Structure 1
Amino acid sequence: MTLAILRAAFLLLLRDRGALLMALVVPVVFFMIFAEIFATAAGDQLQLRIAIVDEVKSDESTRLLAALTAEPAIRPVPGALTRESARDLVRRGTADVGLIIRADGEDLATAAGLAAPPLLLLVDPSRSVTATVLSGQLQRAYFTALPDLAVGRVAELIGTAFTTFTPEQQAEIAAGLKDLRNRAGTEQPAGWTFDELVERDNVAGQNAALNNVAYYAGAVAFMFLLFAAAQSALGILDDQEAGILDRIAAGPGGIDVVINGRFLFIVLQGLVQTCLIFGVAWLAYGVDLPGNLGPWAMISVSSAVLAAGLGLLLVTGCQTRAQAQVLPTVVILIMSAIGGSMVPRFFMPHWLQQLGWATPNTWALEAYSGVFWRSEPALQLVPICFSLFGIGIAALGLSHWLGRRLVRD
Structure 2
Amino acid sequence: MSPMLALIRKEYLLLLRDPHALAVLFIMPVLFLLLMAAALSNYLSDQPPALDLVLEAPQPGEASAFFRQALQEQLPGSRVLARSDEALPHIILAADFAETLLDTPHIGPALTYPARVDRQTRQRLRAAVNIALAQTRLLAYLEDSNALGQDLDAKQRLQLIRQRTQSQIRELQVLASGELSGKANASQLSVPAWLIFGMFFVALPMAGGFQREQQSGALLRFRALGLSPSSLLLSKLLPYISINLLQFALLLSIGVHVLPWLGLAGLELPGSVLAYLLLALSLSLAACSLGLLLAALARSGEQALLLGGGINIILAAIGGIMVPKSVMPEAMSQLAEVSPMSWALDAFLTLLVGQGGLADIAPDCARLLLFALLLGSVGLFLFRKRVQQTQWTTHY
Q: If the TM-score is normalised by the length of the shorter chain, which range does it land in?
A: 0.5 to 0.7
SS of the residue corresponding to residue 271 of structure 1 reads helix
Contact 1:232 1:266 in 2 (8 A): yes
Residue 236 of structure 2: aligned partner: 262
C-alpha separation in 2, matches of 1:229 and 1:195 = 59
Aligned partner of 2:251 in structure 1 is 277
Give the direction of change, closer, same or farther, for the CA distance of 1:203–1:406 in structure 2 (3 Å limit).
same
Tell me if structure 2 keeps the 8 A contact 1:312–1:399.
yes
In structure 2, relative to structure 1, the CA distance for the partners of 1:351 and 1:138 (3 Å cut) is farther
- Corresponding position of 1:202: 171
What residue is the counterpart of 1:216 in the other structure? 190
For the 8 Å contact 1:306–1:391, the answer to whether it is kept is: yes
Cα deviation for residue 212 of structure 1 reads 2.1
CA distance in 2 between partners of 1:201 and 1:356 (Å): 31
Distance 2:224 2:216 in 1: 15
- Structure 1 residue 160 corresponds to structure 2 residue 144: no
**1:338 aligned to 2:312?**
no
CA distance in 2, matches of 1:340, 1:198: 34
Could you give the per-residue CA deviations for residues 238-263 of structure 1, whole angstroms, max 9, x where no partner exists? 11112121232355552221122211
Are 2:210 and 1:236 aligned?
Answer: yes
Counterpart contact for 1:245–1:255, Cα < 8 Å = no
In terms of mean alpha carbon deviation, does 227-236 or 195-204 score higher?
Answer: 195-204
**CA positional deviation for 1:305:** 0.7
What is the CA deviation profile of residues 109-152 of structure 1, one whole-angstrom value per residue up to 9, with x for unaligned ones? xxxxxxxxxxxxxxxxxxxx99x9699679979x9xxx9x9967
The 8 Å contact of residues 270 and 352 in structure 2, kept in 1 or not, is answered as no
SS in 1 for 2:321: coil
Query: 1:155 is aligned with what amino acid?
Result: Y
- State the Cα RMSD in Å: 3.7
Alignment of 1:6-21 (within 5 A): none
Q: Which residue identity is paired with 2:198?
A: F
Instruction: Identify the structure with the greater helix proportion.
Output: 1
Is 1:382 matched with 2:362? yes
Q: 2:361 & 2:218 partners in 1: Cα distance?
A: 41
Counterpart in the other structure of 1:304: 284
C-alpha deviations, 1:9-63, integer Å up to 9, x for none? Answer: xxxxxxxxxxxxxxxxxxxxxxxxxxxxxxxx9xxxxxxxxxxxxxxxxxxxxxx
Matched AA of 1:248: F
Matched, 1:393 2:380: no
Q: How does 1:89-168 map to 2 (within 5 A)?
A: 154-156=140-142, 158=144, 159-162=146-149
Matched-pair contact (CA < 8 Å) for 2:207–2:298: no
Instruction: Say whether 1:351 aligns with 2:353.
Output: no
Whichever residue aligns with residue 281 of structure 1, its letter is G
Q: Is contact 1:227–1:329 with CA below 8 Å preserved after alignment?
A: yes
1:185-239 alpha-carbon deviations (Å, 9 max, x no partner) = xxxxxxx98993454322239876x632122221111111111232233211211
SS in 2 for 1:161: coil
Aligned pairs, number: 249
Instruction: Rate the CA distance shift 1:345–1:198 in 2: closer, same or farther, 3 A.
Output: farther
User: What SS is found at the alignment partner of 2:147?
Assistant: helix
The Cα offsets for residues 271-327 of structure 1, whole Å up to 9 and x where unpaired, read as 100100101111233322365433222211110110000111122111222211211
Partner residue, 2:349 = 369
Residue 153 of structure 1: how far off its partner (Å): 7.4
Separation of aligned partners in 1, 2:332 and 2:164: 33
User: Which of 235, 245, 248 is 2:219 aligned to?
Assistant: 245
Secondary structure in 2 matching 1:267: helix
List alignment gaps of at least 5 residues for structure 2. Answer: 1-42, 44-118, 151-160, 176-180, 261-265, 391-396
Secondary structure at the aligned position of 1:402 is classed as helix
Letter in 2 for 1:256: S
Secondary structure of the residue aligned to 2:356 is: coil
Residues of 2 paired with 1:157 and 1:292: CA distance?
A: 60
Rounded to whole Å, the distance in 1 between the matches of 2:276 and 2:318 is 23
Identity %: 21
CA gap 1:139/1:273 in 2 versus in 1, 3 angstroms: same
Q: What is the distance in 2 between the residues matched to 1:324 and 1:211? A: 37
Kept in 1: contact 2:213–2:219 (CA 8 A): yes
**Secondary structure of the structure 1 residue equivalent to 2:322:** coil
Calculate the TM-score normalised by the size of structure 1. Answer: 0.53
Structure 1: gaps spanning 5 or more residues: 1-40, 42-128, 164-191
In structure 2, give the amino acid aligned to 1:202: E
Distance 2:164 2:361 in 1: 38
